[in-house]
Structure 1
Amino acid sequence: MQTLYALLRLFREYIVFTLLTGLSLFLIANNNSAPVQVLRSFSILTFASFQSGSNQIANLFTSAQDAQTLRDVNVALMEEVMQLRQLRQENLELRRKIGFRERVSYPLVPAEIIGKNLSLGQNMITIDAGSDDSVGVNMPVINEHGLVGKIIATTAGYAIAQLALHRDFRATAKVKRSRIDGIIAWDEGDMLILKNIDKTADIIPGDTIVTSEYSNIYPSEIMIGVIRSIGPGGGGYFDRILVEPRVNFASLERVFVMRYRSSSQRSHLEETMFPDEDER
């Protein structure tokens, strides 16, 4: 009992304040006089305004959180779309290459390009396939679009290929439509030139150029490119038959090495007899 009395004495101010506040609210709620009604309306409006402001602040934070969540979801969806597009492109490329391999009659060794030297006419690539993969010197290098070049050096696991855009590149070629034979070589930039063609030959811009059956390094009918322009030359030949390669060398990433071996005896004989027009 003494403890209860001590607590009442200790908190008597709070107890009195609570009782008086409750009594005041009771009297205000049950009093219909004009001043009390004004006070009651003011209290209600004040409380409503405070509650509305609190709700707006809460909604502001909620909207900011929702916006951030939507941004995160949008970024994730964009990344997923990009991955799906990349997978689709790889799938289409794989289908093209599978179909291409089925059309080629010689065994092919697939390879990734791991190094490029594309400067001053010394255009070469390094691939991740070598003698352990049955890759040898002078084997043709192609992709699904056409002729890329040939192998000029190998190790057990790697090989270097000379591109058709190399200044020493030569290949016997022909116009597919009219069967006119010539020599294809690098001209400058990303263009090739078809040489040793008589002025009376049946060739026109748009003609397709392929490797010929007279080549000792490249099988016949490999796509090389398309004639873009024909310029007049001296003597009995055209000197500026420009050919645009079908292969896009700037974006080249993967190639195939054709396991097609040239005849060393024929190569030696032709290099001896025709040193200026050999397939180098």
Structure 2
Amino acid sequence: MSRYLVVGAGGMLGQDLRSALSGRQVSALTHADLDVTDLAAVRAAVAGHDVVINASAYTKVDDAETHEDEAYAVNAIGPQNLAIAAAENGARLVQISTDYVFGGSATAPYAEHTPPAPISAYGRTKAEGERLSWAAHPTGTYIVRTAWTYGAGGPNFAKTMLRLAASHDTVSVVTDQLGQPTWTADLARQIVELLDSEAPAGIYHATNAGEASWFEFTKEIFRVVGLDPDRVTPTTSAQFVRPAPRPDYSVLGHEEWARVGLSPMRNWRAALSAAQSAGVFDDAGGAGA
């Protein structure tokens, strides 16, 4: 039986990975348990495992603009260390990456083989994490890019919108950024299915299917929890200038799943409804109000 190590197990995806791997031999390490920038500590943690899933990351996108060295240590050196240790142990590594490795100038979904062209410090560090982990362990590294994640186990955009709904009559959300809302429970199950299939190492895009603007996503969030979607009003990113630039278009293509004989993830609207039924938003202010 394979022995799994989940790194970043305290985060939103990490918690759902632990659920998706229920009944298997799993070691779960949080940020407090393992400093991924410490190669000796990483080697000790990886020893004895057959699969390593790296769900740890520096995800403060705006802060990364002025703390890129700190982000690089976690997002680039950390994956490299895990890949080195995985290669030494003959283990497979799943490196979670992001749509932010792309610049957002495309008009059609990004294919898995599209060269990264990040426009933010966060995107640069995640792209380096891809490059370094692959270079250290090319026969056993699975780069899984995802985007716009939400789930029960942590703060996220969907919960933020519902908290705002509890104290505001309306919320203004941008219409000019397109992506793919992705439920971390679906993502975790897809990663486990990928590993169980013995598919080859490579790059895979794991997002719920379809596409939406943040505005469309928020209206659907309101609808599924029983709030009036008309309380969501449109605006543009020009009205919400932030330190880090965001991709205008970060829809990811899913061609690799067919190539390895697996189905891509379901549509984001179906996933959102399922997440609501599963109680993902029960602790978010405004739900059902």
Please state which band the TM-score falls in when normalised by the shorter chain. under 0.3
Larger Rg: 1
